[in-house]
């Protein structure tokens, strides 16, 4: 059963708002009107991606009987804001801390990989919605709006998965790599390919490739 402290809920909300703003700035540059236009749409992808990523860590930790709690990293939020003005988001606003006297590399790896897997699954769900709604987007403004939201959701969640799987510092990738290099390679390759495709050919072209247009 999930249990949240008041400070944990506060930290999650703050991190969610700031990271959403960071992705809006990274995508819109310094155009205030563009930022305000993109922010609500981006909050859907970041809301699902960031919150469920952290809850993935928390759920697996608690499944193994550990207490786990998300804590904000203020320096990480500031750094994310700074990098967003350069078109890139260093998305490390905080982390789920698992409290345990002892933890094997395997358990730590499974807890760590849960978040990126959630992001990959969410990205695929957003892409599936894009594919389903794409034909109607040619004659429906509502469909266009949903398509744009889901395209951003795909791109953001792919990026969050790939970024967190980098084997550097205290990111998830370091712990997964220490547990099982084969699993890390497979999951990182999937997340990396999804991110690369969204950044190079774009989500609409991915949709066209899949449906054969």
Cα–Cα distance for residue pair 152/163, rounded to 1 Å: 16
N-to-C CA span, the chain:
46
Three-class DSSP labels, the chain: CCCCCHHHHHHHHHHHHHHHHHHHHHHHCCCHHHHHHHHHHHHHHHHHHHHHHHHHHHHHHHHCCCEEEEEECHHHHHHHHHHHCCCCCCCCCEEEEEECCCCCHHHHHHHHHHHHHHHHHHHHHHHHHHHHHHHHHHCCHHHHHHHHHHHHHHHHHHHHHHHHCCCCCCCHHHHHHHHCHHHHHHHHHHHHHHHHHHHHCCHHHHHHHHHCC
Is 54 assigned a catalytic role?
yes
Catalytic hit among 54, 69, 106, 204: 54
Catalytic sites, residue numbers = 54
């Amino acid at each position: 059963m999930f249990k949240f402290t008041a400070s944990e809920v506060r930290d999650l909300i703050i991190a969610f708002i700031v990271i959403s703003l960071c992705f809006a700035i990274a995508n819109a540059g310094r155009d205030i009107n563009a930022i305000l236009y993109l922010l609500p749409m981006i909050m859907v992808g970041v809301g699902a991606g960031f919150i469920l990523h952290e809850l993935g860590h928390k759920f697996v930790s608690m499944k193994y009987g550990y207490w786990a709690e998300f804590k904000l990293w203020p320096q990480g939020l500031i750094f994310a804001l700074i990098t967003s003005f350069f078109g890139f988001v260093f998305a490390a606003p905080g982390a789920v801390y698992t409290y345990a006297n002892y933890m094997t590399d395997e358990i730590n790896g499974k807890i760590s990989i849960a978040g990126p897997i959630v992001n990959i699954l969410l990205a695929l769900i957003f892409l599936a919605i894009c594919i389903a709604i794409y034909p109607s987007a040619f004659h429906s403004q509502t469909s266009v709006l949903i398509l744009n939201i889901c395209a951003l959701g795909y791109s953001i969640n792919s990026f969050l998965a790939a970024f967190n799987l980098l084997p550097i510092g205290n990111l998830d990738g370091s712990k997964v790599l220490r547990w099982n290099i084969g699993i890390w390679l497979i999951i990182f390759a999937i997340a990396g390919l999804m991110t690369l495709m969204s950044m190079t050919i774009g989500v609409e072209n991915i949709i066209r490739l899949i449906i054969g247009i």
